[in-house]
Amino acid sequence: MNSSHGENRPIVFYGAGSEAKSRLAAWEGAGLVPACFADGDAGKHYTRLAGYEILPLRVAMERYPDCDVYLTIGRGRLHDATQYLSGQGIPAERIKFADPVEWRKGCDWLGRMVNVGEDVGLCCANKKYRITASRHGMAEQIFSEWFHLCEKHLDNMRNNRPTACDACPHMREDYYSAGPPRPVVLNISSDDNLDYCNFRCSYCRQFSSYDQSRTERRSAEVLSIIRHFSEVCDSETANIELSCGEPAALPMCDEIFNFCFERNLRVAVFTNASIYKESLANLLASEKCHLLVSLDAGTRETFRAIKGRDMFEPVLNNLRKYAIAAGGGISSGELARAGSPRRNAIHLKYIMLETQNDNEKDIGSFLDFAREINAHVVLSNNSNARGNPCSRHTMGMSQLFAKKCAEQGLPLTVGYEFFNPSDAKALRKYMADSNHELQQA
Ligand code: SF4
Ligand code: SF4
């Protein structure tokens, strides 16, 4: 199989989802023009995407029996989709890829993620593979180090030479982009005391006392890294994850949020929502931004005990304002009446902590609030970091949490990687057995 084109057979694009939406113009520009889309989602059948009809695969194949089928889905699903299409009797030589890919060892981050913390990393999975570089005011150097390191690793993998990644559980053989490294995800974070945060969460190592000149330096550096990333990234699919302490406490946060807004960049802002910023609300309204907020509590007392600050109500009020700014807050009767689109602009996280918040009262109130602001819920844990499995009670509460989300129709992502492996396995089994319609992380 390859992604060559120029033959005269009709083309069917398989997959009419977000990948197709964002890449269609580029594919058309390269001469790939489909006769129609095919998609497995019955809800899309006989509707249109950019003017092209979306058909069930069987109907598309009946209509265009000698077509080439181009996969227009996310890279992570290519392997399953090729197997599926082969199983439907489509010859291997007629299954092609809309973007050039290759089969090799790799992972979801290698050649795609730039991780800038205390040093520069290829991923956020394992510190062993990070390189160090002086970063202050030297965004260009950060990216050149990153390109060099990625190319070296990719070359080794393509030639089946051993790499430092070999022992990593994330490495697997799959389809990956065949081109040179191209940053798609920028993660600006810090593990150890690099960034300032005004909270003192019981499970977090990344806070420091406020140091004005250091925070100002860091603030300018964050802006410069984002500027540089916006110049070298694939802007259609690029994502920025901003999790450096409390981003809204950076002195230049308005410039940072405004820059992302002006450049139409997709950004996930990891914030504790204790500081309300108009510039962030404005960015949220652009629909390319979402917030990730670890609330971890449903009551004031639990919040104060976990977060080290008595700010439960102010945080809820700020989140309500952000939800309204995003057009997703169901608390806004005005927006609802105006027919504003609702979306899950706020990802509300619950890190299940033994003896701290693993109780029905906190879980129930947390989920009530998630419903109020139309949030996407994230269930997580920190037992993987500690290496210990959760108690039976805590696991039972995690299951109850998932069950309540399903009952209340709340979209849920489970951060399995943050659970101890045996707990993660048990939780996955619970999800599968209970047949919840849950989004898997
Ligand atoms: S294989 Fe593992 S260590 Fe290597 S880049 Fe990927 S996640 Fe990082
Ligand atoms: S709000 Fe986030 S960065 Fe701040 S202490 Fe808590 S977990 Fe750490």
- Say which CATH number the domain at 63 has: 3.40.50.720
* Tokens matching residue 411: 């979209």
Contact 147, 181 (CB under 8 A): yes
The stretch 260-284 carries a mean pLDDT of 95
Question: What is the C-alpha separation between 102 and 241, in angstroms, rounded?
Answer: 27
Total count of domains within the chain: 2
- Categorise residue 435: left if φ over 0, alpha if ψ from -120 to 50, beta otherwise: left
Q: Is the CB of 122 under 6 A from ligand 1?
A: yes
The residue type found at 146 is W
Q: For residue 201, give the ligand nearest its CA.
A: 2
Give residue 127's pLDDT band: very low, low, confident or very high (50, 70, 90).
low
Q: How far is the CA of 334 from the centre of ligand 2 (A)?
A: 33
Q: Counting ligands in written order, which one lies closest to the CA of residue 417?
A: 1
User: Does a structural domain hold residue 307?
Assistant: yes
- Of 46, 58, 47, the C-alpha closest to 85 is 58
Q: In angstroms, rounded to a whole number, what is the distance separating the alpha carbons of residues 436 and 374?
A: 19
DSSP state of 341: P
Most confident among 2-16, 66-80, 202-216 (mean pLDDT): 66-80
* Last residue in a domain, options 51, 76, 99: 99
CA distances from 173 to 73, 101, 102, 153, 179 (A): 18, 13, 10, 15, 17
Pocket residue to mutate for ligand 1, from 127, 152, 171, most atoms within 8 A of Cβ = 171
Domain boundary among 45, 79, 99: 99
Q: Which of 119, 150, 154, 165 to mutate to test the pocket of ligand 1 (most atoms within 8 A of CB)?
A: 165
Which single residue is written with the structure tokens 């939406």?
A: 21
| Average pLDDT for 363-367 | 98
**Beta-sheet strand order (sheet of 52-55):** 48-49, 52-55, 36-38, 11-14, 68-71, 95-97
Position 418 scores a pLDDT of 86
Which amino acid would we find at residue 50? A
**In a domain? residue 268:** no
CB of 188 within 6 A of ligand 1: the answer is: no
Which residues line the pocket of ligand 2, CB cutoff 6 A?
197, 199-201, 204, 206-207, 245-246, 272, 294
Taking residues 304-318, report their average pLDDT: 97
Domain membership of residue 136 (yes or no) is no
Q: Helix 278-285 to helix 312-325 angle, to the nearest 10 degrees?
A: 40
Nearest alpha-carbon partner for 97 in 228, 4, 210: 4
The predicted model scores a pTM of 0.80
Q: Tell me: the pLDDT tens digits for 235-267?
A: 777 899 999 889 999 999 999 999 999 999 999
Q: 330 or 377: which carries more pLDDT confidence?
A: 377
| 287 is a domain residue | no
User: Residue 41: inside a domain, yes or no?
Assistant: yes
Ligand 1 centroid to residue 132 C-alpha, Å: 16
Q: Which ligand has the minimum distance to the alpha carbon of residue 245?
A: 2
Q: Is residue 88 part of a domain?
A: yes
Closest-lying ligand 1 atom to the alpha carbon of residue 122: 5
Residue 132 has pLDDT above 60, yes or no: no
The pLDDT value recorded for residue 439 is 43
Tell me the C-alpha distance between 24 and 18, whole Å: 10
Ligand 2 geometric centre to CA of 307 (Å): 8
Q: Which of 107, 119, 417 to mutate to test the pocket of ligand 1 (most atoms within 8 A of CB)?
A: 107
Collapsing DSSP to helix, strand or coil, 273 comes out as coil
What's the gap in Å between 418 CA and the centre of ligand 2?
16
Give the residue among 120, 188, 186 at the shortest CA–CA distance from 150: 120
State in Å: Cα 176 to ligand 1 middle: 14
Pairwise CA distance, residues 154 & 369, whole Å:
45
Helix (H, G, I), strand (E, B) or coil at 173: strand
Gap from CA of 200 to ligand 2 centroid (Å):
6
**Cα-to-centroid distance, 209 and ligand 2 (Å):** 13
High-pLDDT (> 90) share of the chain, %:
58
Residue 26's pLDDT is what? 92
Q: Residues 381-385: contacts with CB within 8 Å, 24+ apart?
A: 381/351, 381/352, 381/415, 381/418, 381/419, 381/420, 381/423, 382/203, 382/351, 382/353, 382/418, 383/418, 383/419, 383/420, 383/423, 384/417, 384/418, 384/419, 384/420, 384/421, 384/424, 385/203, 385/418
Nearest CA to ligand 1 atom 6: 107
Question: Coil, strand or helix: which one is 223?
Answer: helix
Residue 435 belongs to a domain? yes
Taking only the tens place, the pLDDT of each residue in 150-160 is 898 899 999 98
What's the rounded Cα separation, in Å, for the pair 207 and 213?
Answer: 16
Q: Could you tell me if the CB of 126 is within 6 A of ligand 1?
A: yes
Separation of alpha carbons 371 and 408, rounded Å: 8
Q: Which of 35, 64, 99 is the last residue of a domain?
A: 99
Task: Give the per-residue pLDDT at 124.
Answer: 67
**Residue ranges making up the domain that contains 26:** 11-99
Strand partners, 350: 379
Ligand 1 binding pocket includes 107 (Cβ within 6 Å):
yes
Predicted confidence at residue 42, as pLDDT, reads 94
Residue 21 has pLDDT above 70, yes or no: yes
Residue 30 has pLDDT above 50, yes or no: yes
DSSP 277: -
Nearest CA to ligand 2 atom 1: 272
Residue 175 falls inside a structural domain = no
pLDDT at res. 3: 37
Q: How far is the CA of 145 from the centre of ligand 1 (A)?
A: 16
Compute, in angstroms, the gap from residue 433 CA to the centroid of ligand 1: 31
Angle, in degrees to the nearest 10, between helices 392-408 and 360-372: 30
What residue owns the CA closest to ligand 1's atom 5? 110
Neighbours of 60 (CB within 10 A): 24
Q: What is the pLDDT of residue 336?
A: 46
Closest C-alpha residue for ligand 2 atom 3: 245
